[in-house]
Amino acid sequence: MKDSSSRSFRDPDALIARAGVAGDPNHDQHFLVDDRVLDRLTGYLPTDTDRSHLLEIGAGTGALTDRLLEHGKRVTAIERDPALVEFLRSEFEDAITTDRLTVIEGDALDVELPDVTASVSNLPYSASSDILFRLLPRSIPLVVMVQREFAARMAADPGTDEYGRLSVTAGHYGECEIVEPVPREAFSPSPPVESAVVRVVPHTPTYTVPDDEFFLDFVTAVFTQRRKTVRNAIRNTVHISNLRDPENVVSAIEDETLSKRPGDLSPSQFAALARSAFKHGEPKVDSRD
């Protein structure tokens, strides 16, 4: 990894001025302008990360892109704003010409994601969950700027108020850690909420599941009834879990587990539940895309 002090990076405010934009809160557009935070982001990647191809989602005016080019061999930046795409291609023309940077115009939820080795991004708050659900199964190191409450849910432990579907899903694919809180003043314009940087280091779970997609659908289903007992949650959510025989599932699980609330179950306990549901519930797995 190159020393980020070896050169001076583009000034975030100057980039905004050259781009002729001001940010649009109504379209989830908040530019990260704090140099100190920007300088630290790539450093949160694990030291053994393969940096041969880095992905940035929501490149904006390129303040983070500039730093990623210093730390990665190649960078792919995705940006949905056509005017900013045009600016990025002009501002970073040299990096594009030498095949070190590719700028993709489009929504990160719709475009085809390239094969990359890691991702560092300041994610749009409104799409953070959906974007992460695209990135997590790729099993690559992630450093993401998200809303602070969202970060807390990603890294939450069982039995806490923040623990839920996102906690289990993120934890299924990697170790999640909040590495830095970020104040509103670090952005232009300032968002109405605090932010945080989360690092996700991919891992292989200590438990097994019969099918990743079924497991995550099952977790989603049960957490829609988080105030109910697990017994009732299984019975009431077959339209999500696609279980044909929820009563058979309930009969196969011990009462102690069935009497708990979903938020009290660890990921490994959810995995055990999913194995029983898959075995005894006759899931309609062939109905999934």
- What are the binding residues for S-adenosyl-L-methionine? 30, 32, 58, 79, 107, 122
**Rg of the chain on CA atoms, in Å:** 21
Q: What residue numbers does the annotated binding site cover?
A: 30, 32, 58, 79, 107, 122
The helix or strand, by DSSP H or E, that contains position 104, with its residue range, turns out to be strand 101-105
Tell me how many degrees the CA angle 182-34-119 measures, rounded to the nearest 5: 70
Euclidean distance between CA atoms 220 and 162, whole angstroms? 15
Contacts of 248 (CB under 8 A, 6+ apart): 280, 281, 282
Euclidean distance between CA atoms 238 and 217, whole angstroms? 10
Of 143, 129, 120, 153, residue with least CA distance to 199: 143
Euclidean distance between CA atoms 171 and 30, whole angstroms? 28
Q: Are strands 101-105 and 118-122 parallel, antiparallel or unpaired?
A: unpaired
Euclidean distance between CA atoms 187 and 60, whole angstroms? 12
In the three-class reduction of DSSP (H, G, I as helix; E, B as strand; rest coil), residue 46 is classed as coil
Contacts of 241 (CB under 8 A, 6+ apart): 217, 218, 221, 222, 234, 277, 281, 283
Answer for the pair 287, 187: CB distance below 8 angstroms, yes or no: no
Q: Is residue 229 classed exposed, middle or buried when 0-12, 13-18 and 19+ CB atoms within 10 A define those classes? A: middle
